[in-house]
Each structure stands twice: as structure tokens, then as C-alpha cells.
Chains A and B, each alone.
Chain A
């Protein structure tokens, strides 16, 4: 499957209340992603494409479009490098239909 899909267009339809400056997910040690993780599965499994592979071999995370599914935390079993909490009350994704 090589279809190029613009997930941003999908996320644009969603309603969010972003908790500015207080991301609810963090990469614990960015070095681990760069040096220890071969697959970087978060970069294609995350349904909101919050994780991006960088030119330097690292992974960056912008959680603003997060759908709060939990996949990134669960698949990072070997390194447990994802610090994952629910957003503060009232913040994050607000499903209109769900």
C-alpha cells in the first residue's frame, strides 16, 4: 500500500482543546529513539501521525492532534520510552460524534 494520505486533512475536521505548553505525552529519552529503536513503529502506527522520523535518525512528537488511543505507549514495549497520561480534564480531543 503506497497511497499517500494526508492525515492532517482528516484531523482538521476534529475539535481539540489543546493544553498549550503541557503536552500529555512525552518521549522520555529522545536518544533512545535515535540509537536503540530500529523500527520506529510509532511513526507509522500512530493514527494521528503525531510521531515523525527526522533526518538525523531521531523521532519527534507533536501531540496536538492526538486521538488519545494509547497505541504509541503500548507498542513501545522494548524501550518503554513513551510517557503517557490523559490530558488534563476538559483538554485534548473533543469528539462531536465519536
Chain B
């Protein structure tokens, strides 16, 4: 199949589908290659879909996309071994269409997105792994697949091959990923009747709740947990930086962490009776701004997780993926129209468009966040415990006056962290968030 296309897209996740759809819709000849049995069969996400990024690609996606529940309530929990302190934000404004965010099941959603890509005119080939990029000097001119005679050519290759970024690494566009720049997350999907979910989370119809967690669930490592309500299932997961997993003196396995989280007294009742139907693991590129590699070169562009486009602070990824995919496709379209070739210079506008968009603006805003948390594990160990103990001290009615309790709380903070430490932590957080 030594054919030539305008664009080859490697991978059929959110970024690859956004790129293939946008390019095909504009009339370019597009070949998309996916290694899974069907689009979605290799893909893992929490998963939350942020409507805005998809709206810009398929405005009427709500008509037939497989969406689980729209989120009307977000909970943030800081956990100790036995308790949690949390904030809940629930608003009926989130019940007014068009809804802002949804839980989705990726295998179903990606299949749907891929059907749209095909409708737009792209040729989608599954069960095919791309082994390497074809080069003509320093210009990427196509890909080599693991099929017989599997060399295919294109003006532009868009690398949407996921967090491991295998093709760009093999081609020497960037080095191996560092363990401190990726989180390893594991999760399970637990099925239960729709009514059970609605009763447990105080929702009706297609309303949903998300819970984001940190604290004792991660064994003192830097990480977070999550619980998302789907229509008739709950997704529950936990993730920590891969470097922390590796260096953890307790040698805790990710699945042991997940089991411990499931047994937490505040979480166990929410998932009780759920039938586990799948266990997944996945890396999330959380290195942020400084970990984004070179994303454009002669005949190639990198999009989505492969380029490290994840805003870990806000738990956003698929929206960055879709946006980068769309911008890369728009760049390819413009280059084709301009007719001045497809080298790095002709594709340079991709980087400029990224910088102009929320993608790089947000990554830049939170550029120091990964380091602050990485170097200060107290945010995941000491503080959750202190906050939970403070709440318990203040809320337990036992005849001790409140002033004395206040002093006790203050001295518990002082014992764990010096005043300078407390002030320093507050400053570090403020600096990283501002």
C-alpha cells in the first residue's frame, strides 16, 4: 500500500480523532492508523469530557455522542486514614443545557468520535501498529506499519500516539520520558443499578457527581484519587508520580493502593456491591510546561499526551488533546493551501497557535506546580492529617472549651511544621497557583 496521503494521523484517541476529523472535513486526504482492535480499545481516561473543546470541532456532538452523566456537583476531599475534610460545590446552573462537562466511557466515546472521522472522509485502519517514521533526510515522509508492505507516505504525519510517545522517541525528536514527569494511575469500573447511584449521590436522571481526593489514600506519595459517577457504573482510581512509586520505601504496588482506597470508611459505602468489570492502568504526562518537548519539525507535529499536553492542576487533558489535534490539522490545511512545502518553517504556525491558545497559557501559568509538590511531600502527608485532626478536635463536643481546642490545633500545626515552614508552604502554593 505505497499510497500517498496529505496527512497521516497515528492514533485514534481524542487528539488523533480531532486532527483526523478537522483535516478530513477540510477536504484533505487523511489516513488514520490505530493499533487497537477498534478506536478506544487501547485508551484509558478517568473520564471527564469538557464540552467546549469538542464543541469547536463537532458543535452538535450532544445529539449522538455516548455521554454518561453531566456533572452538577464537584467534591474535593482531603483524606486521613479514617476521615475526610471536604468542600462540595453543587449548582443548579450546571443543570441548564448546554452542559459544561460529562462523564464518559472512553471505549464507547472514542468509537463514536471515530465514526465521525470516517463520515468526514478519513480512511481509518485499525489493528495496525506503526513501527517507525519514514525519513527522507531530515524530512518525515510517511510511516512504516507492522503489516506486509506497510509503508505509507504523506506530506505531514501527526503523532497522536499517546503518552509513551514511541515514534518521536525512536526518531530521536526527544529523549526518554522521565519518571518524575508522569503519573501512574490505576482504576476500576464498578457496575451497579442506576437507582443505587442516584440514591447514594443524591442525583436524578442524568446528573452526576465527581469526587477528587488527596491525602492518606496515596501512602504519602504525591498523587490524587478520583471517583466519577457514570450512568450505571462508578469509576474509581488513584494515581501517583511514577518516580514516587519507584522510590517509595514501602514498595506499595499501585493495585494495593487502590484496594486500600476502596476500603476507606468514607469511600467503601459509596461503592459497596459494585461489580468490577475492568481494571486499567495508564500513564498521565504531568510534567507540565517544562516537560513539553519540541512538538513540530519537518513534516511532523506532536499532539495530545504524546506532547505532554495535560494540565494536572485542573485535571484537564482530553480538552487539551482535542485542541492540539485541531490546531495541528488547521496548520496542515494552511500549509497545503500555501503550497510552500511542509518543513518545520511551513508548520511553525502550530507552535504559535498553541502559544496563543489556553493550552500553553494554562501550562505556563502552572509551570512551577509539579516541582512544588514534588519537593514538598508534606502537602500529601502532614497537612491532610492536620486538617482532619483539627476538624475532629473542633467538632467533637466533650466539655473542653473552644479556646483551648484552638490552641491545641495551633500547637499540632506548630509541632509538625515550624512557623517558617507553614509560612513557606503558603508562599510556595501561592506562587505556584497565581
**A residues lining the B interface (CB < 8 Å):** 1, 3, 5, 7, 10-11, 13-14, 17, 39, 41, 44-49, 67-71, 73-75, 77, 85-90, 92-98
Contacts and interface: CB of A to CB of B under 8 A. Distances in A.
A5 B189 contact: no
Given A45-B246, A86-B129, A70 B283 contact: yes
Interface residues of B, number: 59
B246 A90 contact: no
Interface of B: 35-37, 40-45, 47, 105-108, 110, 126-129, 145-147, 163-164, 166, 176-179, 182, 184, 186, 188-189, 219, 233, 242-243, 245-246, 250-257, 259-260, 263, 276-283
Nearest to B170: A85
Contact of A69 (B147, B176, B246, B282): B282
10 contacts: A1-B257, A5-B253, A10-B276, A70-B164, A77-B178, A89-B35, A89-B128, A90-B37, A97-B280, A98-B43
Given A5-B255, A5-B259, A45-B184, A98 B44 contact: yes
Given A47-B253, A89-B147, A98-B41, A39 B277 contact: no
Contacts of A49: 253, 255
A67 B126 contact: no
Nearest to B253: A44
Given A67-B282, A69-B281, A77-B179, 6 more contacts: A3-B256, A13-B276, A67-B281, A95-B107, A97-B106, A97-B107
Nearest to B13: A98
Contacts, number: 151
Contacts of A44: 251-253
Given A89-B128, A95-B44, A97-B105, A11 B279 contact: yes
A98 B106 contact: yes
A96 B36 contact: no
Nearest to B230: A97
A70 B254 contact: no
A24 B182 CA distance: 22
B253 A89 contact: no
Nearest to B145: A89
A87 B209 CA distance: 36
Nearest to B177: A74
Contact of A47 (B126, B219, B254): B254
B255 A47 contact: yes
Contacts of A47: 184, 186, 253-255, 281
Contacts of B242: 45, 71, 74-75
Contact of A75 (B40, B179, B278): B179
Nearest to A69: B281
A10 B255 contact: yes
A96 B242 CA distance: 25
